[in-house]
Amino acid sequence: MNAPVTVPKAELHCHIEGAAPPNLVKRLANQHGMDVSSVLNGNGKYVWSDFTTFLKAYDVASGVFKTPSDYALLSETYFRMLAAEGAIYGEVFISPDHAQAAGLSYRSYVEGLAAGIERAKDETAIEGRLIAIGVRHFGTASVERVVKEVIGNPHPLVTGFGLAGDERSGHPANFSKAFRMACEAGLGTTAHAGEFGGPDSIIAALDFLRVKRLGHGVRAIEDKDLVKRLADEDIVLEVCPGSNVSLGVYTHLRFHPVNLLRKEGVKITLNSDDPPFFGTTLGKEYSSVAKTFGWSFEDQMTITRTAIEAAFCDEATRNRLLVRLDSAVEDRVGE
């Protein structure tokens, strides 16, 4: 008998700095003579206790990536790990503000990341794309600077623009100009909303930023009309259940609304967000959600199909990915 076919996976929501394995952060910190003991404990685990201290730990860990080759190593490591779990596609959020704070220009940041993705692709055939994000708690001017930098320095792998950071600061209206510019430049757009903010934060993101994808979006479940709107408007949620449980948005996976949202006809994808910070991986997200809610192989295939259909990639790439996805079904039938 052949080995059972694993579900091909796709990731739409992972912050590249948040995917840094602790041992890589430690190694680069030593190399650059930096002290990261405030955010990495003796067991090689990230240390944080709530969303605010998580964001702080994330900032400190990001600081060890100082050169294009550091970033190439990070993206190669992450995409190889993703491919090893059966992923065929990954989009990562990149943060030009964090690169700038570490002394890197936007261009060298992107070139480093792209080199790592190409190396991983040569070995594993995984496809990767980059979504540049503005950090909302850095303010409107900083978010607009990011989008101008992206538009002024086009790169074939940078296909999207997004908004992350502390949802509790900065109304989406402050970022509508940045999103209009991104959209006019042909970039796909997505925004974090409905993670720490309630349904109003989601409505504001939809109305002011005109996004068709939302990072998280899960607190829509608190507003019946909004759930219907998400379903009617084909809004795709980049759901990160492990992250939500880790950050205390829900106390336990079985109380997470991912299954209810899916049953209401909302388009769902599964994602890892900042995997080593939350003790997760994309593979663990698929398997824990499938186990908790009784999702079948076909249910999980639908998750990946939704992700590929919503991916910020060109149509030829999308079609190739869909063929790869379908071939997993054929392999299964032939098992």
Q: At its nearest, how many Å lie between ligand ADE and the CB of residue 57?
A: 10
Restricted to residues 69-128, the positions that interact with Zn ion (CB under 5 A) are none
Annotated catalytic residues are 195
Choose between 307 and 321: whose C-beta lies nearer to ligand ADE.
307
Choose between 51 and 297: whose C-beta lies nearer to ligand ADE.
51
Q: At its nearest, how many Å lie between ligand ADE and the CB of residue 239?
A: 12
Restricted to residues 247-306, the positions that interact with Zn ion (CB under 5 A) are 273
Choose between 149 and 195: whose C-beta lies nearer to ligand ADE.
195
Residues that bind ligand ADE in the complex, under the rule CB under 6 A:
15, 18, 58, 164-165, 192, 195, 243, 273-274
Indicate which of Zn ion, ligand ADE, none lies near residue 112 (CB less than 5 to 8 Å, by partner kind).
Answer: none
Choose between 15 and 145: whose C-beta lies nearer to ligand ADE.
15
Q: At its nearest, how many Å lie between ligand ADE and the CB of residue 324?
A: 29
Amino acid at 202: I
Indicate which of ligand ADE, Zn ion, none lies near residue 195 (CB less than 5 to 8 Å, by partner kind).
Answer: ligand ADE
Q: At its nearest, how many Å lie between Zn ion and the CB of residue 100?
A: 20
Q: Which residue ranges make up the site for Zn ion (CB under 5 A)?
A: 273
